[in-house]
Amino acid sequence: MIKYAPGLSDELAEIASHFAQYNEATAERFLDNCEVTFDLLERFPDSGSPRRFENPELASIRMTLVKGFDEYLIFYVPIAGGVRILHVMHSSLDYNRIVDANDLL
């Protein structure tokens, strides 16, 4: 089972829109690769790396790369029977300012 946090579809659309400005095929490949990576996380929820956050409530959050787009990070939490995808973002962003405890609700 894959669950998606509110706002995730907006994040994906924004990233895909950025790629589409330069190359529509890249935008489509990005979204396809996100799906592939989400499916892999569902099957192997512990495959991502645990992240350190300033807030200890976020200790369960893990991170992995979008397949084929190594500058894009997926933040997620393992849940019973799968994963909950919280955020997808560029690696240049300060994830401590974006990911917060409300993401776990």
Contact 75, 87 (CB under 8 A): yes
Half-sphere exposure of 99 (CA within 13 A, CB side): 29
Mean local confidence (pLDDT), 63-91? 97
Mean local confidence (pLDDT), 59-79? 97
Break the chain into its structural domains and give their ranges: 2-91
User: 0.95 cut: is pTM over it?
Assistant: no
The pLDDT mean for the chain works out to: 95
| CATH number at 2-91 | 3.30.2310.20
- 72, 26, 46, 4: CA torsion to nearest 10: 90
DSSP character at residue 54: S
